[in-house]
């Protein structure tokens, strides 16, 4: 059960980033942003962690440890979205493999209470997405994780 929460944590971060990055206009590029005016993967990861920190009561040390993991996952999402040589299934598999590899790192960072809170947040977010979008999914959205991954 705790592994599910951790796996969903990373997926929630990635889904939130892919959605929020498309809806937040920027008038001027932030320092370190790409030439297109979009924030860098590290900036996106930092922002998302800061958004979740109060709800999960993340410590400064936890935030520091999570940032490179989430940054790498955001970079992967950007690469997969830009890649025109892979099929959607190949992209989903690569995403899933990366998430599985990062899972143990994230699991080691969060406390049991944080994992439980995150699982609740993910369940609520999934319910909101189901109500707001029905069962359709965007072709650019990150793959939906298996809610019951094997331990």
Asked whether residue 10 is assigned to any structural domain, the reply reads no
Nearest in space to 106 (alpha carbons), one of 8, 40, 17, 19:
8
Asked whether residue 36 is assigned to any structural domain, the reply reads no
- Global pTM reads 0.63
pLDDT higher than 80, residue 151: no
Asked whether residue 45 is assigned to any structural domain, the reply reads yes
Asked whether residue 11 is assigned to any structural domain, the reply reads no
Domain range for 118 is: 41-129
Asked whether residue 27 is assigned to any structural domain, the reply reads no
Residues of the chain with pLDDT > 90: what percent? Answer: 44
Nearest in space to 69 (alpha carbons), one of 134, 10, 138:
10
Asked whether residue 7 is assigned to any structural domain, the reply reads no
Domain count, the chain: 1
For 7, list phi and psi in degrees, rounded to 5.
-60, -40
pLDDT digits (tens, 9 = 90+) for 20-47: 444 333 334 444 445 567 889 999 999 9
* Structure-model confidence comparison of residues 133 and 21, the more confident one: 133
pLDDT digits (tens, 9 = 90+) for 50-67: 998 999 999 999 999 999
pLDDT for res 149? 41
Round to whole Å and give the CA distance between 51 and 60. 13
Asked whether residue 19 is assigned to any structural domain, the reply reads no
pLDDT for res 133? 67
* Structure-model confidence comparison of residues 71 and 141, the more confident one: 71
Asked whether residue 83 is assigned to any structural domain, the reply reads yes
Mean pLDDT of 76-102: 92
């Amino acid at each position: 059960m705790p592994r599910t929460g951790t796996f969903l944590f990373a997926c929630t971060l990635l889904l939130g980033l892919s959605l929020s990055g498309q809806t937040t206009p920027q008038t001027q590029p932030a320092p370190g942003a790409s030439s297109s005016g979009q924030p860098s993967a590290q900036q996106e990861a930092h922002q998302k962690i800061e958004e979740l920190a109060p709800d999960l009561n993340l410590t400064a040390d936890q935030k520091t440890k999570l940032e490179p993991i989430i940054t790498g996952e955001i970079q992967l999402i950007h690469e997969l979205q830009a890649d025109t040589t892979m099929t959607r299934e190949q992209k989903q598999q690569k995403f899933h493999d990366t998430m599985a590899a990062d899972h143990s790192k994230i699991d080691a960072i969060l406390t049991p209470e944080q994992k439980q809170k995150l699982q609740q947040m993910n369940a609520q977010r999934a319910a909101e997405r189901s109500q707001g979008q029905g069962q359709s999914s965007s072709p650019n959205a990150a793959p939906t994780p298996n809610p019951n991954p094997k331990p």
